[in-house]
């Protein structure tokens, strides 16, 4: 049985990368998918259609409230509901470093997309979910929300910590209204976003030494976690952090006592 049969899922940042992998997986599992992105999502929609799925594209700038509101309205007007919002869109900027050297503009842009973008997605989706009496919110945080990053990236780490805290707050507020909110916390996944920081073997090995499983994650492994949180399989799960990190946090978080 398809795990998202009949559900409508809006995924931000899903024209490419991790978001597109999730969009294609959600569609295979029966969801009607809204590909919401600032870049054209036509290729993703066509790929989903060719595989027998249902998808539409809507332009969405997650830093702009009107744009996000319009994307949610598109989902409802086109498909009749919004059962899942997967706030996936995010950035990791190349000049994000330590608190002293990171440009304020980099910090502000990172927070604008990674935190404000999640807030606006929730802000637009929650009233729809309240009217329906149900809904699942999946927000992308990161394993660095639980621990410091091995390579300095203060803006990114701060933004993902904020997403995790916000998700817990949202979960508590709406728990009795049938709305669930959970954070997905991936470890290092080999995507173009990460690859640009790993331009040589030495840089890759410096990252890999921290991963007990000895390899980077695959996009499909993260998408499967998002699918679980989006589906009714996680129906008694809210306010939680699903960490998929190859064992990083288990190796570096010191047990109490």
Which residue numbers are catalytic? Answer: 156
Contacts of 225 (CB under 8 A, 6+ apart): 184, 186, 242, 244
Phi, psi of 256 (to 5 degrees): -65, 140
Token pair listed for 114: 């990674």
158, containing H or E segment = helix 154-174
Contacts of 207 (CB under 8 A, 6+ apart): 150, 151, 188, 198, 216
Strands, E, within the chain: which ranges?
Answer: 8-12, 32-37, 54-59, 84-87, 135-140, 179-186, 241-244
What DSSP designation does 114 have?
I
Q: How far is CA 235 from the centre of its chain?
A: 19
Contacts of 229 (CB under 8 A, 6+ apart): 136, 138, 182, 184, 237, 242
**Cα separation, 227 vs 229, whole angstroms:** 5
Token pair listed for 227: 């699918």
What DSSP designation does 15 have?
S
């Amino acid at each position: 049985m398809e795990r998202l049969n009949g559900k409508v899922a809006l995924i931000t940042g899903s024209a490419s990368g991790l978001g597109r992998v999730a969009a294609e997986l959600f569609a295979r599992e029966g969801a009607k998918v809204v590909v919401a992105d600032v870049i054209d999502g036509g290729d993703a929609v066509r790929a989903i259609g060719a595989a027998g799925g249902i998808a539409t594209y809507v332009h969405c700038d997650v830093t702009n409230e009107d744009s996000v509101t319009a994307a949610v309205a598109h989902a409802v007007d086109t498909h009749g509901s919004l059962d899942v919002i997967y706030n996936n869109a995010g950035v990791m900027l190349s000049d994000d470093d330590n608190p002293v050297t990171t440009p304020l503009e980099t910090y502000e842009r990172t927070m604008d997309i990674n935190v404000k973008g999640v807030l606006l997605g929730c802000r637009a989706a929650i009233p729809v979910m309240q009217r329906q009496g149900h809904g699942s919110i999946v927000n992308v945080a990161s394993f660095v929300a639980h621990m410091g990053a091995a390579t300095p990236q203060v803006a990114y780490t701060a933004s993902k910590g904020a997403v995790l805290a916000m998700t817990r707050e949202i979960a508590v507020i709406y728990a009795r209204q049938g709305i669930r909110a959970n954070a997905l916390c991936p470890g290092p996944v080999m995507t173009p976003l990460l690859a640009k920081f790993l331009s040589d073997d030495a840089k890759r090995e410096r990252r890999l030494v921290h991963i007990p499983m000895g390899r980077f994650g695959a996009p499909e492994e993260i998408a499967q976690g998002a699918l679980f949180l989006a589906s009714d399989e996680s129906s008694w799960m809210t306010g939680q952090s699903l960490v998929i990190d190859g064992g990083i946090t288990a190796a570096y978080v010191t047990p109490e006592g």
